[in-house]
Structure 1
């Protein structure tokens, strides 16, 4: 995901609940079960001071939300952004619950965020903010309770600070408290590429489902952060033609194809993809509408909506980002017969390899990248097939099918465990 600017104002939590209710209706879920599953188990809001390098004190607001833990410990990223809201974090925590359930890994959903502008802060300030935020949420995170990970504007270094801070409080090293760490302190091979690799696996499956050859397919990637840039490279290596990419500065389009490696070099040298010379310059939103066969929205929520869904030309839409498509756009895509692979399935490669990292940390026994990639493909292919079968059984789109499959699994765990006391 990249830190794309949201294209319009909407409430992601309302959207998440709306998606939940649609699936609950088809599952004929009882009102009692809906009451349990439609809202988070726990919401923590913290306000904490941080000393800035100029000597001033700034107070920041942070959140950690655990949506449901009936299938296992809570799992979910931490994002740093001026646009973080409690409702956004609640929505992302709910989606994480369904994401873990749809690929069958034993986690519940959580999410965290701090309202800040990390691009205006230096490394020392970010470290102090991270360590203080970790201290504030340490009352609910832990290797068997809630395991954070990187998200928008956070990375392996920030996870290292989280892990170290938590470990200092305990008096000994606890690598399994976070995933997405550097390899030197218990990170996993393949974690950095995991989301994009999962996107490739499910898109390959989707192309087979509709009889589209992947080699030669035209691909547009909205968002050129970690997931988007790596996805562009992986699809390019599969023989696809990358016709358009973008970041927050703008987009580029070339119907003859683009070289993702050259674009990465250009962005490293010039700070953006929008000034890449060998392409037509377009807006970030136009990346969603260019002529292509496969569209990969890899930015933030709400990019595909009622205002632009009619102009999307791709036949397959693979949601590398969380919540990039509104229910209104979903209805339009379904009506037009497009195959949309929903976020809770499409980008679940990240949390799946995070699960592998957690297991390796708990065992203190690590696997090679080939084994990790092989295990990931088995899980992603199996999850895609289960969602496709549900879609065929209920004559519905893939999002509704994925939500139904996930919600049914969480409801079953909730029912079996019962209500305490």
Structure 2
């Protein structure tokens, strides 16, 4: 895989001076896929790393039997606090500036700091037909595909949209696959989750319902800890739009602790599901978990992962673990699954179990980390995709 992205665009908002970035790492049939994030401190380097990760996620889910055709990898990022009063205006102006790219070759959607509803509203205000309109020319029946995706986004499961659950279902399935291979029973296995937004919240729900015990969660206000297990459903119901929990719902046994308490929680499974670069060399020393399941993009720094691996902690990499949302979008749009929750969850679970199993098999056979095994699989699949569809 090339080390340099195909295209990098930097943008400065003429109203606020806020900076934004778009990186297209690779095109397949002229199109690339990758979400748009908004966070204070977002950098061009961060966006480039995320775009490369999207190239890998697309390649990892390539199956020539599916209607879904892998796309290239891209990512957008805006350096702005999504909670600020100026954030929405910045988002609209960014999308207006990036309109030629979104119209022709960049399909995008929600990522850290943004919801799909907000992206859709801003895209319409910016004059776009859709945030994913670049993929429409690749569809056999655009009208039917768009109806199917719209219907899927209208599906709710226990009060939460299907689109907000499929990614967490995939993360949970990755964790459960690792537990199954190790012969570890679900009951009594403890989990700590950083972030209760779309991905972290859904992951906590699926792991809780599988019988694991969620003993710690963290949001922007700090960590909530209970060694006997938290009431996950109550916490999810008390979240605001940014995943911050109303502390009035806490039970007598729940403790409020510092923002990093989730790291050192007495848990077997650690799920960083919020920001990138959350676990550095200093933070990794506090971790007692046996598995780190990367629901966020790039949460563990490379040197930290080396040290974690040396002391027996298994890091399941983001490009595998959190790829379910992206894949579900395209399975639905291209017609591999219908707008129905059970079918969507079954597809995500089956695909994630197969992919995680294959990665762990390669990891164990070659004596390398799961991340290195995933990278090796990508290196095999990209030339196959290029041979079938061309390099761009």
TM-score of the superposed pair, with normalisation by structure 1: 0.78
Question: Which residue does the alignment assign to 1:230?
Answer: 202
In 1, Cα distance between equivalents of 2:175 and 2:42? 30
Task: Tell me how far 1:229 sits from its aligned partner.
Answer: 1.6
How many pairs are equivalent? 366
2:133 to 166, 171, 177: 177
> Alpha-carbon deviations, 1:74-96, whole Å to 9, x = none?
11111122211111111111111
TM-superposed CA distance for 1:418, in Å, is 7.1
State yes or no: 1:147 paired with 2:111: no
Tell me whether 1:286 sits opposite 2:261 in the alignment.
Answer: yes
Partner of 1:114: 78
Structure 1 residue 330 displacement after superposition: 1.4
Contact 2:54–2:73 under 8 Å retained in 1: yes
Tell me how far 1:187 sits from its aligned partner: 5.3
- Structure 2: distance between partners of 1:327 and 1:165: 40
Q: State the superposition RMSD in angstroms.
A: 3.0
1:76 counterpart = 2:34: yes
Match of 1:86 in 2: 44
Measured after TM superposition, the shift of residue 412 of structure 1 is 4.4
Distance across 2 between alignment mates of 1:291 and 1:354? 35
The DSSP-based 3-state class of the residue aligned with 1:233 is helix
Determine the C-alpha separation between the residues in 2 that align with 1:285 and 1:412. Answer: 43
1:310–1:129: structure 2 CA closer, same or farther, 3 Å change rule?
closer
* Rounded Cα–Cα distance in structure 2 between residues aligned with 1:284 and 1:273: 15
Q: How far apart in 2 are the matches of 1:114 and 1:398?
A: 30
Return the offset for 1:291. Answer: 0.8
Tell me which residue corresponds to 1:43.
Answer: 8
CA contact 2:359–2:370 (8 Å) conserved in 1: yes
Shift of 1:231: 1.4
Of residues 66, 69, 94 in structure 2, which corresponds to 1:133?
94
**Hey, what does 1:384 align to over in structure 2?**
356
- Structure 1 CA distance for aligned equivalents of residues 270 and 134 of structure 2: 31
Do the aligned residues in 2 keep the contact of 1:73 with 1:106 (CA within 8 Å)?
A: no
Aligned to 1:340: 315
Cα gap change, 1:72 to 1:403, in 2 (>3 Å): farther
1:222-277 superposed Cα distances (whole Å, 9 cap, x missing partner)? 11222112211211111111111111111021111110122234445995466745
C-alpha deviations, 1:167-192, integer Å up to 9, x for none?
x46xxx5574289x999956534221
CA distance in 2, matches of 1:265, 1:117: 24
1:286 aligns to what SS in structure 2? coil
Asked if 1:246 corresponds to 2:222, the answer is: no
Kept in 2, the 8 Å contact 1:103–1:380? The answer is no
SS at match of 1:288: coil
TM-score by length of 2: 0.84
TM-aligned CA distance change 1:87 to 1:376, over 3 Å: same
The answer to whether the aligner puts 1:310 opposite 2:285 as a matched pair is yes
Give the aligned partner of residue 373 of structure 2: 401
Unaligned runs of 5+ in 1: 1-33, 50-56
Q: State how far apart, in whole Å, the 2-side matches of 1:314 and 1:191 are.
A: 29
Structure 1 pair 182–286 and aligned structure 2 pair: CA distance change class (3 A):
farther
Within 1, Cα distance between the matches of 2:53 and 2:29?
A: 14
Q: What residue is the counterpart of 1:204 in the other structure?
A: 176
Q: Is the 8 A contact 2:102 2:133 kept in 1?
A: yes
2:143: which partner in 1?
Answer: none
Partner of 1:58: 16
